[in-house]
Structure 1
Amino acid sequence: MFAIPLAENAELRPLEPWHAPEYLEHIERGRAHIDAWINWAALAIDLDSARAVLQRYADRQAADTARLYGIWLDGTLVGGVMFVQFDAKGGTCEIGVWTEPAGQGRGLITTAVRHLIDYAFTVRGMHRIEWHNKPENLRSRAVAQRMGFTLEGVLRESYLHNGVHQDGEVWSLLTHEWKSRATPTG
């Protein structure tokens, strides 16, 4: 197993099918908060469906089309980051995030996203990373801005969430933009 430190008491680790009981407990604690922004929480309503969600991502990781990581704070799963889609051949991917309230305001998502961006660009040679969020999700928007993503536009009423057509922002970050941020200028 590997873990990447995010803070003194927090780490990023793969989130795998055997974590299903812990994952379901996390989703139950954060369901109302998470579901306000994405339908992620609705996918796990019992142990079998929680295990199925995690297995689906394990299968997609094996196919090199997605990856899923959890964020543990003081030994408790409080959120996660993921490659929602990962197209190595095309050089594009999308990063997604979620957290329960206990994981907010500590910079954990931002730090975890930085690791995913670095992996995508420097290890996997991706060209473009996308970030999607609701315009009113100011926390998500702030992470995209801190990481240097550019807002490309708003897809008006582009997806159905909780029975309502929602707008979605699309942000992007290109490899040369990330590398120029990491390179000191003289």
Structure 2
Amino acid sequence: MAHSTDNATLRSGLTLSGNASYLFKIVFLGEGAVGKTSLVGRFVYDSFEGDYLATIGTDIHLKMVQVEDTSVKLVIWDIAGQDNFAQLRRAYYMNASGAFFVFDTTRSETIARIDEWINALRTVTGEIPLVLLENKVDLESAILQEKKDEIISKYHVKMIPTSAKEDTNVEEAFKEMTAKILLKARKKGMKPI
């Protein structure tokens, strides 16, 4: 999957037209090299690229999904995790309906700044559905279960073990997120488009 040097790139050939009942923006948060791009690639294109190429700014992808009998178009923002993009990230969070925080289970430092990431997100978006993705579970974990449980309890979120490489729980994570966003939208009285 090629990366663009633009700050925000909509993958070529994708359009916003289609027969979706709802349109939701989902953002991916997390440190660099945790597998955000690989998870998005696995879900949107059913592919996995093993070579790491840092995302520059953000890449935007589209995917239609079904939740029960409802057709939903997801606008997925794969946001760079490197610190030099911190100021841009806040702008990318605008109008997000939900967020995935991704960490690499083999690198404990990738979860160390979770408070900073979530606070920056919520400063812009308020309370939106959040799902934690423990990525690279095909490898041995370096993070204690107690730390994971502490985060789940603190943020009242679901944590889903994933592997983009092995295609473990990737589709399930997106279905979970989409269902949470749809439920919140309906509770707020949002009507289909």
TM-score, normalised on structure 1?
0.36
Structure with higher helix content: 1
TM-score with structure 2 setting the length: 0.35
